[in-house]
């Protein structure tokens, strides 16, 4: 285990993330320009795809980081039976939920029940599929719908804020089921679907299009919000949420409804709108 990963066990996660949030939302030009210039240079951010390609025109780092893409920069897969990739980034892992467990990395796994915060909520996904997509700081940070769905419930599961970089994923047991996260349950034409927005160290927030900021209202207990009957339906490829710094989204599908696109495997770079899976 690297020294950096070891230190994350003892660092004050929420304090550091709150401090990072203050910097990200600062409208002090010196602060915002320094952060934007540093991230753009260090992570080779492609601003040609941005709706606003001028980095100096963003009043805060957060507005730069959650920037929109220009029209046509991403398109949904042409096959109407394809579930689409929810975000830019790379596949961390994907596969079958085997005996209720989700593979994280060699020697590391966690249960769907631990991830969702409920054994009952995990039952529909027994023997189903999972896909874990990691968003790096250079990526577009809005998360979209793999398939058309009506929001049923969200579950805010409290936890730590470990880094979700490769070193931590390989060494921190059950990392994604330990970090603070927002579980979004949708009803779709093929049954239930879940998108899990996983927070991480120095992630200054998770926002949804239906309720705004959900994290960093850090919790000490599981909080459920019932959206049944509210008519919140989001279309395939439509924006559903955003991260205010790089993190991870995990999609769960019930068994027997779809097969992953054959070219996908761990560490595969992906873009929003590409085929994730195809309905059977």
Instruction: Give the active site residues.
Output: 88, 144, 247
The first and second tokens of residue 212, run together, are 């705004």
H or E stretch covering 166: helix 166-171
Contacts of 224 (CB under 8 A, 6+ apart): 153, 154, 155, 156
The first and second tokens of residue 221, run together, are 């207990």
Rounded CA separation 110/29 (Å) = 43
H or E stretch covering 237: none
The first and second tokens of residue 277, run together, are 């899976």
Instruction: Tell me the DSSP string of 54-123.
Output: -GGG-SSHHHHHTPPBPTTSS---S-TTEEEP-SSEEEEEEEE-BTTEEEEETTEEEEHHHHHT-HHHHG
* CA pseudo-torsion sign 165, 166, 168, 172: positive
Nearest to 115 by CA among 166, 170, 163, 155: 155
Contacts of 159 (CB under 8 A, 6+ apart): 177, 178, 179, 180, 181, 199
Chain position carrying tokens 């019932």: 226
């Amino acid at each position: 285990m690297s020294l950096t990963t070891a230190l994350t066990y003892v660092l004050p996660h929420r304090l550091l993330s709150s401090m990072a949030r203050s910097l990200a939302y600062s409208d002090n030009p010196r602060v915002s320009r320094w952060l934007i210039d540093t991230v753009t240079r260090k992570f080779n951010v492609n601003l040609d795809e941005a709706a606003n390609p001028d980095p100096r025109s963003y009043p805060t780092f957060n507005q730069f980081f959650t920037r929109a893409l220009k029209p046509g920069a991403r398109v949904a897969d042409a096959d109407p039976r394809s579930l689409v990739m929810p975000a830019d980034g790379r596949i961390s892992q994907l596969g079958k939920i085997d005996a209720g467990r989700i593979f994280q990395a060699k020697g590391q796994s966690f249960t769907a029940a631990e991830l969702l915060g409920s054994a009952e909520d995990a039952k529909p996904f027994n023997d189903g599929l999972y896909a874990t997509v990691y968003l790096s700081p250079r990526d577009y940070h809005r998360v979209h719908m793999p398939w058309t769905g009506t929001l049923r419930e969200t579950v805010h599961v409290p936890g730590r804020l470990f880094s979700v970089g490769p070193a931590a994923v390989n060494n921190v047991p059950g990392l994604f089921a330990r970090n603070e996260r927002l579980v979004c349950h949708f009803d779709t034409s093929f049954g239930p679907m879940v998108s899990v927005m996983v927070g991480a160290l120095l992630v200054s927030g998770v926002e949804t299009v239906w309720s705004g900021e959900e994290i960093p209202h850090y919790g000490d207990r599981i909080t459920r919000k019932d959206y049944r009957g509210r008519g919140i339906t989001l279309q395939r490829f439509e924006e559903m949420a955003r991260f205010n710094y790089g993190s991870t989204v995990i999609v769960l599908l019930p068994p027997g409804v779809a097969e992953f696109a054959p070219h996908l495997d761990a560490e595969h770079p992906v873009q929003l709108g590409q085929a994730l899976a195809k309905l059977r």
